[in-house]
Structure 1
């Protein structure tokens, strides 16, 4: 039966939607119970219940103040947030009568769910259906970042007027030298094969000979098992051009400086090829210069830009393997060599072996810090919680050892990152703050401040958080965190830009779409909110579950369109 008098009609909660803020949920319940002559409540009682499918809290009875026409009540609550509360509802229960009642006479739901938007901040936690976040910072030698590119030229000579390659001693040696260079620098950046022609009549009157020579050398490279991707190789030719002659003249030793200046005056006067040719032939001794230099212009010039593969060379690798296989106290490699080997090792297990050996050979922060990062990343990969905690503990011990050797921002960052994953956000924040003080390195600060900004969001310092993200990011999670900071600061314009950047950085990263859906919902743009939400929930099961209970979407949750997008998502997932 529905009671004739609604004793809870004035019962309400402030704020109207419960919100997570700085690790707690705070709200105030107020209301009145009417006193009517015919239906005056007998022994009225108000109790507040917070309940979900997993847990519940039944609060103590609220004190009532009797007035002429009503009982009034008002009480503030502050709860330490727990994850089960996100999908809970807050209910007022009204009891009356002389006997103790187990069921309320009336009840009213004041709020459904808790807005936990700050907890969306990405801080390195692993979710089952999402890519594993990379955590921890290795201390780098910088060898991987240095430009090790080297440029070298090789010359293949031809007979006058010919495009057929003859394997003379000089050409054979050029190919052998090229192979040696590519063995030592096997990461090719570019290769230019340039066919050139001398100004001799026998070389023809068009550029066809030059390009034919380039094609012949390309075939020669293939026959010599020098295979370069087409995208890295460029074939071209030069004709009616004194450029190569000018280069050879620079190394020509049979001319005085004064005579060379005569040649350069012509070659650099800016006139056309024929005019320069006539002027050159007027210089005394030109015929001898031409006889000496023109044969070298009947050629193909191979210009190669390449760099060695990162890591140790063959001899160093042999010393490394020997040291790893023996119980030796020295290896013939220095700290930098070992650090480079660790950086370039492909697997975490290989890195662990190298860094572990380094802790025996060197008193340095590098191996302890880097081995700790390996442990942290291995912890990210395991689903066994006990194994994860064990790896975190091992990483913590290694970082403690590193801190005893020296104060280092990377060590502090990694200590803070572990604390974040353990839920010790306040202790973590102190570590990350100390790390930022120790260095001005932009790459380090970009990474450290992004994590610090995520913690600012969780701590409720939204305006401060926006300042942390003043770097050029490329990862969708960083753009999302930046958008989250602006959204919670009520700066929807900048939030929208950042969420869109998150989407552009990774379209399969659904959080950017979720952020845009939150902005649309907060702005009353229902159609846009549904459109963005549809994209978001198809990207992640975690987003799917959150959207079902997030009070931000309460106003559109009752619509057919809302449940339609969830229905289609379930169908796709089942397939």
Structure 2
């Protein structure tokens, strides 16, 4: 008898198991034929979910005897555990008079569990990746140690030219840049990117864009703007529709349906010349080009910076004396102490200052800020007992802060600790309360991004996309935004957000992983492999996930898939 006869109709819905709101939900259906001599005796169907180290054997599936077959249909809801990501779901068939330890037949119904929502970045520390910054200090406003500010300034050029004309628009851009740097003198990054429009007058090589970028750098230096090499990046983009896509998103003269036509071309994976020809065939393209191309004859200046302020020498001396002698100083008020805490780069120094402040002042600020110090110390330890103790100490400090006043920062930090402890539902309530209490855009940007990440994990993908309506600079925020769009099946916006994640940090592999997922879902195998190759070499966690992620099941059997996982030595030998 053929081995799979009795299980040939057995199937699982959905065809690929998925994580959804902390569980895995699926339905198994099938039929066992009844045909004279082939009729099985005492038939039984069991289900087994198994990985290399764990397994779940479900109770027998109830069989209903019909005229020509035993039929079965049963739904399952299983609390998700991490080992399930690499497990397989197997149907097992038993029959005969005696109890059998081994099934007569087996059939694998599904391999792995798609756990894409769990990719959301919520502050967890992963091996070989930068330690995520968690917690929000209450700032005095004198300086902002945690929430960097970003500015974008555009210098326009005439078609085909790399000479800066100081017209009113460019003069205003330089003035705005100087104002921004005056208010935010601690520069984190300074990017100068020369771009070219697709017009023939813009040249046939990338030289024009780079010439523009270099010219603007010379202009800025000549204008008295200090550019440190360690944070300054000068580059150009050519034959790249990325900037056009950014403009298209804000372009109001096109309907959503017409924009979808553009995105369908821009996301089809073809090369630049092919996309150019396809765009020209879209009705109304000439008008769109006239409106948007001039802004591509430009240099984009992107700056991330924050204020740099602190105590003067005399105040610093008084602070040191107060700390060393364990006394207070009548010449230092609470604002001075708070500024000193913000300006101190080392967590240990912050801890001393804020701890002393809890003795001197009845205020939410020192309790909240000392709690944040404890949270960040917890991020830096590998010992779970120490981590749990630091979280406990942080929670106690936040409780004391809440007794003094109701404050959104306290709620946010309580929520962040709950997130790290895996209590996502309790965390969501805290973060929601935090958002209700303030209209501060910097705070909301940070709080809503974490809240959006939890929306992703909770399965509210459409709602999650609304949480990320802020100007972000961090790769993780762009990635979470892309993840929300991806899970909502809005691949155009997902692709754009993943690309922005890559642009914000090319060593941050999650943006590449997101692009690989989109390509795999779209059947673009070569592009999926190209993006996956970049992703897995940026993170061991991504490397391990890609090996079992069912999203890549269709391409996993190919030689090209396993080739990208080979070490450089193995590749050279081959």
Q: Quick check: TM above 0.5?
A: yes
Q: Following the alignment from structure 1 to structure 2, what is the Cα–Cα distance between the partners of residues 571 and 367? A: 55
Q: How far apart are 1:5 and its partner, in Å? A: 6.3
C-alpha offsets along residues 478-510 of structure 1, whole Å, 9 cap, x if unaligned?
A: 000000000000100000000000000000000
**TM-fit CA distance, 1:77:** 0.3
Question: Where do 1:97-496 residues align within 5 Å?
Answer: 97-144=96-143, 310-496=309-495
Q: What do the CA deviations read for 1:348-392 (whole angstroms, capped 9, x no partner)?
A: 000000000000000000000000000000000000011001000
CA offset digits 1:330-352 (Å, max 9, x no partner): 54310000000000012000000
Deviations 1:106-127 (A, max 9, x none): 0000000000000000000000
SS at match of 1:447: helix
- The aligned length equals 420
State how 1:15-94 maps to structure 2 within 5 Å.
15-94=14-93
Offset of residue 4 of structure 1:
5.6
Relative to 1, partners in 2 of residues 1:569 and 1:363: Cα closer, same or farther, differing over 3 Å? farther
Q: Displacement of 1:565 after TM fit?
A: 0.6
- Asked whether the equivalents of residues 320 and 331 of structure 1 are also in contact (C-alpha less than 8 Å), the reply is no
Structure 2 counterpart SS, 1:566:
coil
1:528-549 Cα offsets, whole Å, 9 max, x none, are 1111001100100000000010
CA contact (8 A) 2:138 2:409 kept: yes
- 1:115-165 deviations in whole A, cap 9, x for unaligned? 00000000000001100000000011111259xxxxxxxxxxxxxxxxxxx
Q: Partner of 2:8 in structure 1? A: 9
Contact 1:137 1:410 in 2 (8 A): yes
- Offset, 1:69: 1.2
Quote the Cα distance in structure 1 between the aligned partners of 2:186 and 2:123: 36
| Distance in 2 (alpha carbons) for counterparts of 1:5 and 1:377 | 56
1:267-302 CA deviation, whole Å, 9 max, x = no partner?
A: xxxxxxxxxxxxxxxxxxxxxxxxxxxxxxxxxxxx
Contact 1:537 1:569 in 2 (8 A): no
Change (3 A) 1:23 1:233: closer
Query: Following TM superposition, where does structure 1 have runs of at least 4 consecutive aligned residues deviating by more than 6 angstroms?
Result: 230-234
Name the counterpart of 1:501: 500
Deviation digits for residues 297-347 of structure 1 (CA, Å, limit 9, x no counterpart): xxxxxxxxxxx9722112211211111122325543100000000000120
Distance 1:407 1:516 in 2: 42
- Partners of 1:145 and 1:325 in 2: how far apart? 27
C-alpha distance in 1 between matches for 2:308 and 2:453: 37
In 1, distance between residues paired with 2:54 and 2:408? Answer: 42
Q: Name the SS for the 1:388 alignment partner.
A: helix
User: Does the 8 Å contact 2:453/2:464 carry over to 1?
Assistant: yes
- Cα separation, partners in 2 of 1:420 and 1:332, compared to 1, 3 Å: same
Contact 2:121 2:480 in 1 (8 A): yes
Match of 1:224 in 2: none
Cα 1:125/1:572, change in 2 over 3 Å = farther
TM-score normalised according to structure 2 size: 0.71
Any idea what SS the aligned residue of 1:354 has? helix
Give yes or no for the alignment of 1:540 onto 2:525.
Answer: no
Q: Which runs of 5+ in 2 are unaligned?
A: 146-184, 188-220, 226-306
Q: Using a 3 Å threshold, how does the CA distance of structure 1 residues 331 and 102 change in structure 2: closer, same or farther?
A: farther
1:201 paired residue number: none
Match of 1:520 in 2: 519
Distance 1:136 1:572 in 2: 43
Unaligned runs of 5+ in 1: 147-186, 190-229, 235-307
Please state whether the residue corresponding to 1:126 is helix, strand or coil. Answer: coil
Contact 1:520–1:529 (Cα < 8 Å) also in 2 = yes
Please state whether the residue corresponding to 1:399 is helix, strand or coil: helix
Deviation of 1:568 (Å):
3.8
Give 3-state SS (helix, strand or coil) of 1:404's partner: helix
Tell me the secondary structure at the aligned position of residue 119 of structure 1: helix
1:556 — aligned with what?
Answer: 555
SS of match in other structure, 2:24:
strand
- Mapped contact 1:479–1:502 kept (Cα < 8 A): yes
State how far apart, in whole Å, the 2-side matches of 1:325 and 1:99 are.
82
Query: C-alpha distance in 2, partners of 1:571/1:391?
Result: 44
Q: Is the 8 A contact 1:323 1:331 kept in 2?
A: no
* Deviations 1:68-127 (CA, angstroms, capped at 9, x unpaired): 111101110001111111111000000011111000000000000000000000000000
Cα deviation 1:49-78 (Å, max 9, x = unaligned): 001112100011111111111110111000
Alpha carbons 1:480, 1:511 under 8 Å: kept: yes
CA distance in 2, matches of 1:428, 1:493: 31
Q: In angstroms, what is the RMSD of aligned CA positions?
A: 2.2
